[in-house]
Amino acid sequence: MGHGHHHHHHSHDLSRKLTIATAANVLVVAAELTIGLWAGSLALIGDALHNLTDALALVIALIAVRLEKRAPTSEKSFGYQRAGILAAFINAAMLVAFTFLIFREAYERLRAPHAVETSLMLVTAAVALLVNGLTALSLHRESRHDVNIRGAFVHMIGDAVSSFGIIVAALLIRWTGNPLWDAATSVVIGVLILWSSYGVLRESMNLLLEGTPSGIDPDAVTQSLGRIDGVFGVHHLHIWALGPSSPALSCHLMVGDVPVSSTARLLEDIKMMLAKEYRIAHTTIQFEYAMCAEDDPFCVPLNVGRASAHQHSP
C-alpha cells in the first residue's frame, strides 16, 4: 500500500514537472522564433525549432507518464508501460529529421551570408539557456531510471548547450563583424543534436525490439542464478523491458530430481536476488526437474560439482 502511494506521488510529481517544463519551453519557442526572424539569425530560428521539437518531446513524455499509470485491461495485460519507450523513440527520430533541415539551411547561409542583429541574439539565448538549464536540472534524477524521461532530459541539455553556442556566436559576430558565425553555430548545434539523440534512439529501438535493457548483462544474471543453491542449469533465458524502467525476465531453471514442494523457497530466493541485484521485479520462472542435456546448446550448466553430489546423495 505504501509503495503504491509512493509510486502515485512520484508519478504526480513527475507530471507536474513535465507540465511546467512544457509551458516554459513553449514561451521560449515563441520568443526565439519571433526574435530570430526579426534579427535574421538562423542559429536562433534553428534553436527555436529545436525547442519546439523539445516542447513536443515533453508533451509526448507527459502523455506517456500518464498512460503508464493506466490499469491493465484484458486486451493490454501489461497496461501502457511501453508508451514511454515509444515516446522516446519518436522524440529521437523527430530530432534527427529536424537536424538535417538545419544543415541544409546552414549550407545556403554559408554560401550567401545574412546580416544578424547580435544584441537580440544575446538576450534571447541567455534567457533560453536559463530556462533549459533549470528544466534539465529538474528532470535529472528521474532520467537515470527511465528512458522516456532521459529522452526529454537529453533534449533539455542539448537546448542549453545550443543556447550557450548562440551566445558565443553573437559575441564572435560582434568582434569579427562576420555573420558566417551564425550559420556555423547552427551546424555545431545540429551535430550536438545528432550526437545526443543517437543514444536514446538506439536504446528505445532496442527495447521496442525486445532487446535486453542497457545496464543488464544476461551472462551476469546467469552467473548470479548459478550462485543460488539448488539451481544446476539455465535454459531459455530472456530479459526485456515492459516499460522504460520495468525490466522483465523469463527462464527455465534446471533443479534436478527434487520434490515440487521444495521449490517454493527456491523461487522466493531467486525473485529476491533478481529484484535486489538487477531491479527485475516481473519474472516468469519455470522449473525443470532434470539436468542440462549434453546436446542442448541453449542450456547453460551451473554448479556442476554440486549437481553431481546432489545426484549421488542417498
Three cell numbers written together for 222: 546467469
Per the listing, cell 508508451 goes with 83
Classified as helix, coil or strand, 39 is helix
Q: Are 178 and 235 in contact (CB under 8 A)?
A: no
User: pLDDT of 188-231, one tens digit each?
Assistant: 878 877 877 787 788 888 888 888 888 899 999 998 998 888 88
CA–CA dist 197, 97 (Å, integer)? 11
**Which residues, at least 6 apart from 155, have a Cβ–Cβ distance to it below 8 Å?**
53, 54, 57, 58, 91, 95, 196
Distance (Å) of CA 298 to CA 54, 111, 143, 230, 288: 44, 59, 35, 19, 14
Q: Are 85 and 148 in contact (CB under 8 A)?
A: yes
User: pLDDT of 93-107, one tens digit each?
Assistant: 887 887 888 888 788
Mean pLDDT of the chain: 80
Q: How many CA atoms lie within 13 A of 281 on its CB side?
A: 5
Name the segment(s) of the chain with CATH classification 3.30.70.1350.
218-312
Name the segment(s) of the chain with CATH classification 1.20.1510.10.
2-208
Q: Give the residue from 43, 52, 54, 25 showing the smallest Cα distance to 120.
A: 43
| CATH architecture, range 2-208 | Up-down Bundle (1.20)
Higher per-residue pLDDT: 135 or 192: 135
Burial class from Cβ neighbours inside 10 Å (0-12, 13-18, 19+) for residue 48 reads buried
Above pLDDT 70, what percent of the chain? 86
CA–CA dist 23, 25 (Å, integer)? 5
The Cβ of residue 112 has, within 10 Å, a number of other Cβ atoms equal to 7
Residue 12: what pLDDT? 67
| CATH architecture, range 218-312 | 2-Layer Sandwich (3.30)
Three cell numbers written together for 186: 547552427
**Which residues, at least 6 apart from 127, have a Cβ–Cβ distance to it below 8 Å?**
28, 31
At 42, the amino acid letter reads L
At 238, the pLDDT band (50, 70, 90 cuts) reads very high
At 283, the pLDDT band (50, 70, 90 cuts) reads very high
At 68, the pLDDT band (50, 70, 90 cuts) reads low
Q: Give the residue from 253, 252, 239, 235 showing the smallest Cα distance to 281.
A: 239
Higher per-residue pLDDT: 103 or 42: 103
CA–CA dist 1, 30 (Å, integer)? 44
Give the Cα-Cα-Cα angle 212, 217, 221 (nearest 5 degrees). Answer: 105
